[in-house]
Amino acid sequence: MTAPLLELRNLARVFDVSPPWLDRVVSGRGRVLLRAVDGIDLVIHKGETLGLVGESGCGKSTVARLIVGLYPPTRGSIVYDGVVVAGEGASAPDHAAQRRARQGMQMIFQDPYASLNPRWRVAKIVAEPIRAQAPATPAAELDRRVSAALEQVGLAAADGARYPHQFSGGQRQRISIARALTTSPSFLVCDEPTSALDMSVQAQVLNLMRDLQRRLHLTYLFISHNLAVVHHIADRVGVMYLGRIVEVAPTRRLFREPLHPYTRMLLDAVPDLAMTGTSRVAVAGEVPNPLDPPAGCAFHPRCPLANERCRCERPRLAAPPGANDAQVACHAVQEGRLPPRPVLHTVAAVH
């Protein structure tokens, strides 16, 4: 395993979603806090793709925004390439070492319609990160790098003169990727980069992202709610539930031998082409209100294995017995109470 590129240490972000002061006084209620990310530890190694999955509201997008610095953390810290870039122990944002570290990261957003300025030509959009990081870059150099970035993602240099509305959704997402690549970053945070795209276009973008990763030695944090996409693109996968990481494991192990009952539930719920005619395991319940998460293990109200300990004691993320490349936060796993998983439907070749 290669050296860690990014390390999240006990990272947390709490949002104050209280009603206005006067309403609180009148109704006699206190502040309302949303623990979007509630103390997570995660390592991303150089050159790998870490997939982060979970259902809406589990905090995966907040993690992305914390990493790129769109939100400051409430607690914990983020270490990138050996430099603490946010949280406890971070230097001032304009400190040279931190600036340099931050320049190694870029982000790709979900909605290619909302993330490109409709009034700017594509060349200006793609050049923006360079102009932000090195305002003194000469115009000729800027043009050269913009053209190179556009060609890298399969567009033509001449496309720089057009406006975003002249492109389809898939082409716009290519523009977003080109914009992220102009500053030659080594780490890309991709927040649902293909969720807004059609199936055949999603395949084009996923193939492109894999090609770019091989060619430019990129490291990805790939956030998605689509388990099949994550299975395809990720080397390791982290599963989030209500602001916490419940399981991290190499992709193959996670999909073949999921340990956490929530991971098992998610996998059973995935509709898959190979499973034509079979019905999925019915999943009971819904994600609880994140404003008032259950005590102990947040998953216990939906968990078939929950016992008294699960209801009061929060499980810690730790290596399960017999697997040192995985981590799981579950009392049942650590105590050996986990039943073997019924063998899933035999894998049928789709083609």
List % helix, strand, coil for the chain (3-state, nearest 5): 35, 20, 45
Interface with another protein: number of residues (CB under 8 A) = 53
Residue span 232-271 as binding mask against another protein, x where in contact by CB under 8 A, dash where not: xx------------------x--x---------xxxxxxx
Note whether 37 and 58 are within 8 A (CB): no
Note whether 77 and 87 are within 8 A (CB): yes
Query: Is 322 one of the binding residues for another protein (CB under 8 A)?
Result: no
Chain residues 163-182 in contact with another protein, contact rule CB under 8 A? 168-171
DSSP per-residue letters across 290-333: TTSPPSSSTTGGG-TT--HHHHHSPPPPBPPTT-TT-EE--HHH
Residue from the set 90, 148, 157, 203 that interacts with another protein by CB under 8 A: 203
Candidates 32-40, 83-91, 277-285, 317-325; binding stretch for another protein (CB under 8 A) = 277-285
Query: Is 134 one of the binding residues for another protein (CB under 8 A)?
Result: no
Query: Is 273 one of the binding residues for another protein (CB under 8 A)?
Result: yes
Query: Is 225 one of the binding residues for another protein (CB under 8 A)?
Result: yes
- Of 111 and 128, which CB lies nearer to another protein in the complex structure? 111
Chain residues 75-114 in contact with another protein, contact rule CB under 8 A? none
- Largest Cα–Cα distance in the chain? 67
Candidates 25-33, 39-47, 227-235, 321-329; binding stretch for another protein (CB under 8 A) = 227-235
Query: Is 348 one of the binding residues for another protein (CB under 8 A)?
Result: yes
Residue from the set 2, 27, 200, 324 that interacts with another protein by CB under 8 A: 200
Candidates 61-69, 96-104, 125-133, 279-287; binding stretch for another protein (CB under 8 A) = 279-287
Q: Which two tokens stand for residue 331?
A: 């009392």
Backbone angles phi, psi at 237, to 5 degrees: -130, 135
Question: From CA 270, how far away is CA 300, in angstroms rounded?
Answer: 21
Helix ranges (H only) for the chain are 21-27, 60-68, 96-103, 122-133, 139-152, 169-181, 199-216, 227-233, 251-256, 261-269, 308-312, 331-334
DSSP conformation class of 165: G
**Closest residue by Cα to residue 48 from 298, 219, 215, 170:** 219
Query: Is 276 one of the binding residues for another protein (CB under 8 A)?
Result: yes
- Interface contacts to another protein, rule CB under 8 A: 55-56, 168-171, 198-204, 206-207, 210, 225-229, 231-233, 252, 255, 265-283, 286-287, 345, 347-351
